Structure 1
Amino acid sequence: MSRKIRKAAVIGSGIMGGGIAALLAGAGVKVLLLDIVPFDLKDEEKNDPAARNRIVKAGMDAALASAPSLFMTKKDATLIQTGNLEDDFDKLAECDWICEVVVENLKIKQNLFKRLEGIRKPGAIITSNTSGIPLKDMSEGLSKEFKQHFMGTHFFNPVRYMHLLELIPGAETLPEVLEFMAAFGEKNLGKGIVWAKDTPNFVGNRIGIQGIGAVMNAMLEDGLTIPEVDALFGPALGRPKTAIFKTSDLVGLDTMSHVAKNSYDMCPDDEQRDAFVVPEFVKTMVENKQLGNKTRAGFYKTDLTPEWKKIRKVINPATLEYEDLTRPTFPCLDEAKKKATLPEKIKCVLTGDDKGAKFAWKMAANSFQYAAHRIPEISDTIIEIDNSMKWGYNFEMGPFEMWDTYGVTEAVERMKAEGLEVPENVMAMLNAGNKSFYKLENGVKYFYDFASSSYKAVPVSDTMVSLAAAKGNNKLVLGNNSASLIDIEDGVFCLEFHTKMNALNAEIIDTIEEALNYVDANGVGLVIGNQAGGMPGAFSAGADLSLVSKMAHDKKYAELDAFLERAQTGIQKAKYSPFPVVAAPYGMTLGGGCETCLGADRMVAHAELFMGLVEIGVGLLPAGGGCLNIWKRFIDALPAGVAKDTDLAKLFIPAFMNVAMAKVSMSAAQARSNGFLSANDRIVFNRDNLIGEAKKEVLRMVDDAYAPPMKKPVRVMGNAAQGMINAELFNMLNGKFMSDYDAFLAKRIAYVMSGGNVNKNSDVPEETILKLEREAFVDFTKEEKTIARIDHMLKTGKPLRN
């Protein structure tokens, strides 16, 4: 049978249930979101549908109001129908998948599943998002057919943004059900799948909470402070800026403590069981409702002075009083900042000889030991553990990958010298002559499998293309410090950027033209895409501002104009090349990064896409063809038969506002609403498959006998647009939506986008608008306020409104 999920149900409308419902709706699935009828209904409310649905409505309202948004676009909410478990229970019979997200109480879950058994349609999949109650206990006494379609699906919060989805087979779950849910989770929901065993807290939280607990307890033993620990366990070790204590504030101290207690209670044989006992000061904080971000006070809090100045404070574990936060550092961290790559930074921190480095090593060794001891208890291979920490906790490396970075042999020798226990499975691996957990051979990545004492290929999706593996297999055909052209087979090549935040510099601009010439001579199509960086990452954060700043300060305006012209030439050459060019944007796709994508034939975009032409924020305008191509996106969307008769004013204002207000989409769906993505562009939920899907799009276009678009004049609004925009700017100035300087910039942007000093509905060559872009950009760099904006952004990473 061809299984499909056309309608799903989520039972439980809390933050997790609401997040799962929003994710499903974003994937185009109809959702039934149910919760209980309130226990405290008054007699006059018992027949009132609004009162009976009060809990589910509150959950839905919270999901809609969440920041960052759990919805890709608020329109997705129309796919969600709400109700309660008494009046609407029969509607569950229509659902292909029913996901339970109710309170962690065995009796409640057993009663719910017993009711579901009597109503679910044959073949419907039932899953539990529980992490602390065994599947076998929840399904006890139910039919074989129910158990064959019952399993665990453990999402991580916030559901939209966390890549990890743990799948837990039940003892009797059918293989085809497991395969289907893995494929649906990966492709339709965009998740990274980790197969977990039915053990307490599965993989991610078992490893993650042990790590947090171990660090908290060791901090007190070794006399470090909370800020010192967070400084050590942040980006220098490939972890998010939230590190240990800010992560706990984000999750909630009550939630973290509950998961830790659950592991302690249910894992009596765990050799590091004591790590799950949170320190006394944390228990006191939970009792005092100092739970983190949800109560605006946890390990950290922010106070406001009478002048509305924010003062960051941190709790002192000894006194439980908040003190002013000072940013600590250690010599090992100072050295790490000088290093270019993460492996170099990690080695600096873990091999240093200062107090911070020694503490970081102590906890790294602890995590190495713990991870190795959990195989095969919680997962069969090292892959599940590493991926869980990367996808569920936003680490750049899992424990085994970090162990490889340090050097497995070197770490083991140090552990022995310090009297630390070395896991037997790791010693057996080393004694057999295997010196690493992962290795790359002929472009294929292998992992060491403890069960078979051999290396096995890391399983990947059929669609996935790994640029790192391709380069490792000698598929690099062009390259420099900023960009690479990689052969991804079947005549398709990928142009990859690898600067900081993938910012576009002169080297990348030159490589674009080189790459186009190479593909024209040797291939059938080009993908423009990158794979470096965690979630959401940056396809490209825009042009290299430091380069623009230097030219502006040095008054090298002719050189700046030449640089812009080269950028425009490369992007427009991609647009009219004789072969298909597909951009694969994800995450931050801003300024020049957005312009690069607008110059492609098509986009295959990741669902998490923050796309916009944001140059006005640094006192500039898009001058890589952005003003031209965003306008063309709007007018080219019109059918040819009605384009001549359409009032272009209705198109010009939203196109102009995208640039003048530096609008940035909060998802690919919103980018489509804003006009950046067209109807022909695709949205992919799983970023791991993005390059592969873009390659498929190239080959599909080749198979359809691709012909490049015909270059033709652009219809513009001319003087009429500028008068109309001046009236809009007057209103926005009065409403204080923009500064005087923003208005000054916006007027020039309107002049450029409307084709300059021409009449309404004139047809002008593309080169006219491109020249206007360059002239305006150069003129802006002569303005003191623009230079101030650029320098402020480079110094602080934040826009200056002057």
Structure 2
Amino acid sequence: MSRKIRKAAVIGSGIMGGGIAALLAGAGVDVLLLDIVPFDLTDEEKKDPTARNRMVKAGMDAALASFPSLFMTKKDATLIKIGNLDDDFDKLAECDWIVEVVVENLKIKQDLFGRIEGVRKPGAIISSNTSGIPLKDMSQGLSSDFKQHFLGTHFFNPVRYMHLLELIPGEETLPEVLNFIAGFGEKNLGKGIVWAKDTPNFVGNRIGVHGIGAVMSSMLEDGLSIPEVDALFGPALGRPKTAIFKTTDLVGLDTMAHVCQNSYDLCPDDEQRDAFVVPEFVKQMIDKKLLGNKTKAGFYKTDLTPEWKKVRKVLNPATLEYEDLIRPTFPCLDAAKKLPTLPEKIKCVLTGDDKGAKFAWKMAVKSFQYAANRIPEISDTVIEIDNSMKWGYNFEMGPFEMWDTYGVAEAVERMKAEGYDVPENVAAMLAAGHTCFYKLEQGKNYFYDFASAAYKVVPMSDTMVSLAAARGNDKVVQENSSASLIDIGDGVFCLEFHTKMNALNAEIIDSIDGALDYVDANGAGLVIGNQAGGMPGAFSAGADLSLVSRLAHDKKYAELTTFLERAQTGIQKAKYAPFPVVAAPYGMTLGGGCETCLGADRIVAHAELYMGLVEIGVGLLPAGGGCMNIWKKFIDALPAGVAKDTDLAKLFIPAFMNVAMAKVSMSAAEARANGFLGLADRIVFNRDNLVGEAKKEVLKMVDDAYAPPMKKPLRVMGNAAQGMINAEIYNMLNGKFMSEYDAFLAKRIAYVMSGGEANKNSMLPEEAILKLERDTFVDLVKEEKSLARIDHMLKTGKPLRN
């Protein structure tokens, strides 16, 4: 049968259920969100539909109020209808997919599934988001047809932002059901799929919570403090800044303890079972309701002084009292900070000889042992375990990738020398002459499969393009220290940035120009896209502000003008190139990164897109064509037949406000609403497929006999716009929405965007507006307050309101 998910139900409106409902709505699915009728209703309230839906309404309100938002755009909420499990249960018969997200109680789940079986339509898929109860127990006594359409779909919280979706087949689940949900989850919901077995806590939480528990237990034995542990297990080891204890505060100590207890109770033969025993001081914290962020106090908390100054505190496990947080360090961390790549940092920390390095190595050994011994118990391959940790915990490397980084043979020799057990499967792998878990050969990624004792190709979707694999296959045709041009097949090339935060510097500007020339001579089209960095990452956080600062402080204004002119030339050259240019932005796409996208023929954006022209925050204005091209994007959205008769004021104000208020979209859907994405631009939910989808767009445009856009003068609002904007600025000043200097900058932005001294409805050549951008940018860097904003941003990473 040809399956489609047009309507889905989510049963349970807590934070997880609300998140799943919001994600489905963002994918365009009609959602029925159900929860129980509250137990404490009076007889009168029991007759009131609003009171009967109080529980689900509270869950929906919490989802709408969440920060960061669970919704791509608040308009998605209109696709969600709420109800309760008494009055609206029969509506489940209309649903193609029913997701259960109720309390972790076997009897409650069994009763619910028994009721669902009586109303579900033939072929409807049912799944549970359980994190610990076996599927076979939940579906016990139900029909074969139910079991054939039943599986586990374990999302991670927060649902919108966590890439991982674990799929757990039941004993009788039909292969076509599994394949369909995997495809829908990957393409429509943007998730990375991990196939897990029906074992306690599946893959991600079994491995992840083991790591947390092992560190907590060993920390006390080795005499480390909470801040010292978090310093070690953060970015230097490729992990989030939340490390161990801040992550547990985020998840909740009670939740973490529940998962630990579940693993301990249900895994009696686990050789590291003791790692799931929660330390006594953590049990006392739970008793005292020090549960983390949800109670505003956990391992860390923030106090306010009488002067309203925030002071960060950390718990002392020995006294259960909070003390001022003093950020610690170790020699291995100081050395790692100076190294350019993550593999070098990891090896530096794990091979150090100070107290912190020795502890990090000890925990790495436990992780290596545990991960290797879980195959084939919880998953069949190293891929599922590594991906679970990367996608569910935001690690940059999973345990097997980290082991490869250290060197498998080298680590094993050290483990033997220090008396650690070596997993039998790894010892056998090495004995057979295989020295790594992953390798790249002839442009293909391989993983070592313990079951067959051989390497197999890492599975990839047909759409996925790996720039790392292409690079390893000698497909780089141009390269400097900041960017590479990579052949990704079929005559399509990808320009990849690789500076810090992919900031645009002089080398990248040169690379854009060189890439366009190369593709013109040798290819069919160009993708501008990157793949480095975890979620959400940065396509480009903007121009290299340190370069701007240096030129401004040295008063090298002619050199700065030349840099801006080169940037504008490169971006406009892409716009009018005789072949299609498609930008593939994701995550932070700010300032110059946004301008690069606005210069492309088309944008294929990841759903998590934080796009905006934010230069006013550093006392400047967009000068890479941004002022002109955002206005042009608005104008070009109009059908040609009505453009002349349209009141441009209705377009100018929102286009101007994007720049003057430094609006940044919180999703690709919002970027479209703000006018940064047009109707021809696409949104892709799965970032893994982004470059591949952009390549497909290039080839489609080529197949459609692509012709470059005709260069023509741009209609501008002229001095009429400036008078109109002055009134808006006056209102914003009075409302304290901007400072006096913001107002000064906003007027300069309006002057440039409207065409300077031009009259209303004048037609200006693009070069005239681009010159206005350059001249005004250079004028602004001469202002003391702009320089103060630039320097403050470089020093603190935060904008200055002066």
Residue 330 of structure 2 corresponds to 330
Secondary structure of the 1:451 match is: coil
Residue 160 of structure 1 corresponds to 160
Number of the residue aligned with 1:307: 307
Partner of 1:171: 171
CA distance in 2, matches of 1:673, 1:589: 16
Alignment of 1:330-479 (within 5 A): 330-479=330-479
2:266 is the alignment partner of 1:256: no
Note the 1:691-710 alignment, pairs <5 A.
691-710=691-710
What secondary structure does 2:425 align onto? helix
Equivalence for 2:25? 25
- Structure 2 CA distance for aligned equivalents of residues 358 and 507 of structure 1: 40
Instruction: Note if 1:676 corresponds to 2:660.
Output: no
Following superposition, the deviation at residue 731 of structure 1 comes to: 1.1
Aligned Cα root-mean-square deviation (Å): 0.5
Q: Partner of 1:641 in structure 2? A: 641
Q: Distance in 1 between matches of 2:261 and 2:140?
A: 25
Q: Secondary structure at the match of 1:706?
A: coil
Query: Shift of residue 735 of structure 1?
Result: 1.1
Map 1:499-578 onto structure 2 (within 5 A): 499-578=499-578
Q: How does 1:644-663 map to 2 (within 5 A)?
A: 644-663=644-663
- 2-structure distance, mates of 1:552, 1:96: 60
Counterpart for residue 102 of structure 1:
102
C-alpha separation between the residues in 2 aligned to 1:508 and 1:502? Answer: 9
> Number of residue pairs matched?
802
- Structure-2 separation of matches of 1:417 and 1:313: 40
Counterpart in 2 of 1:281? 281
- CA deviation map 1:256-286 (0-9, x unaligned): 1111111011111101111001111111111
Distance 1:403 1:471 in 2: 22
CA distance, structure 2, for counterparts of residue 294 and residue 771 of structure 1: 52
Amino acid corresponding to residue 43 of structure 1 in structure 2: D
Match of 1:138 in 2: 138
2:716 matched residue in structure 1:
716
**Identity value in percent:** 87
SS at match of 1:46: helix
* CA drift at 1:306: 1.4
**Partner Cα separation in structure 2 for residue 780 and residue 758 of structure 1:** 21
Gaps of 5+ in 1: none
Give the counterpart letter for 2:26 in structure 1. Answer: G
CA distance in 1, matches of 2:798, 2:409: 44
SS class of match (2:610): strand
One-letter code aligned to 2:208 = G
**Partner Cα distance (2:737, 2:117) in 1:** 56
Q: Which amino acid aligns with 1:113?
A: F
Q: Deviations over 1:579-634 (max 9, x none)?
A: 00000000000000000000000000000000000000001100000000000011
Local SS of the residue matching 1:463: coil
The aligned residue for residue 58 of structure 2 is 58
Aligned ranges for residues 313-324 of structure 1 at < 5 Å? Answer: 313-324=313-324
Distance 2:308 2:589 in 1: 33
Give the ranges of 4+ consecutive aligned residues of structure 1 lying more than 6 Å apart after TM superposition. Answer: none
Find the counterpart in structure 2 of residue 186 from structure 1: 186
Deviation at 1:340, TM superposition (A): 0.2
CA distance in 1, matches of 2:415, 2:511: 47
Other structure's SS at 2:119 match: coil
Query: Matched residue of 1:671: which SS?
Result: helix
Q: 1:679-717: per-residue Cα shift (whole Å, max 9, x none)? A: 100000000000000000000001111111111111111
Q: For residue 780 of structure 2, what is the aligned residue in structure 1?
A: 780
Once the two structures are overlaid, the 10-residue window that deviates more, 110-119 or 153-162, is: 110-119
What secondary structure, in the 3-state scheme, does the structure 2 residue paired with 1:513 have?
A: helix
The whole-number CA distance in structure 2 between the counterparts of 1:304 and 1:785 is 31
SS of residue paired to 1:471: helix
Tell me the SS of whatever aligns to 1:391. helix
Query: 1:1-35, CA deviations, whole angstroms, 9 ceiling, x for partnerless residues?
Result: 11110000000000000000000000000000000
Matched residue type, 1:779:
D
Q: Deviations over 1:20-52 (max 9, x none)?
A: 000000000000000000111101011100000
Amino acid at match of 2:794: L
Secondary structure of 1:356's partner? helix
Give the unaligned 5+ runs of structure 2.
none
The CA deviation string for residues 491-536 of structure 1, in whole angstroms up to 9 with x for no partner, is 1000000000000000000110100000001011000000000000
Distance, in Å, in 2 between the alignment partners of 1:747 and 1:639 is 30
User: What is the match of residue 630 of structure 1?
Assistant: 630
Aligned to 2:271: 271
Which residue of structure 2 aligns with residue 93 of structure 1? 93
Structure 1 Cα separation of the partners of residues 132 and 369 of structure 2: 24
Q: Which amino acid aligns with 1:32?
A: L
Counterpart residue number, 1:120:
120
Query: Counterpart in 2 of 1:199?
Result: 199
2:707 partner letter: A
Query: What CA distance in whole angstroms lies between the structure 2 residues aligned with 1:773 and 1:295?
Result: 50
Cα distance in 2 between the residues matched to 1:151 and 1:719: 63
The DSSP-based 3-state class of the residue aligned with 1:43 is coil
In the alignment, which residue of structure 2 is the partner of 1:6?
Answer: 6
> Partner amino acid for 1:551?
L
1:602 alignment partner AA: R
Shift of 1:642: 1.1
Partner of 2:285: helix, strand, or coil? helix
Matched position secondary structure for 1:565: helix
Hey, what does 1:43 align to over in structure 2?
43
Q: CA deviation at 1:734?
A: 1.1
Mapping of 1:614-629 within 5 angstroms? Answer: 614-629=614-629
Length-normalised TM-score, structure 2: 1.00
Distance 1:28 1:164 in 2: 20
d(CA) in 2 for partners of 1:253, 1:790: 41
What's the counterpart of residue 492 of structure 2?
Answer: 492
User: What amino acid maps onto 1:110 in structure 2?
Assistant: Q
- Counterpart-to-counterpart distance in 2, 1:32 and 1:704: 41
Q: Could you tell me how far apart the structure 2 residues matched to 1:496 and 1:661 are?
A: 30
Q: CA deviation at 1:242?
A: 0.1
Q: What is the distance in 2 between the residues matched to 1:307 and 1:656?
A: 39
Q: CA deviation at 1:132?
A: 1.3
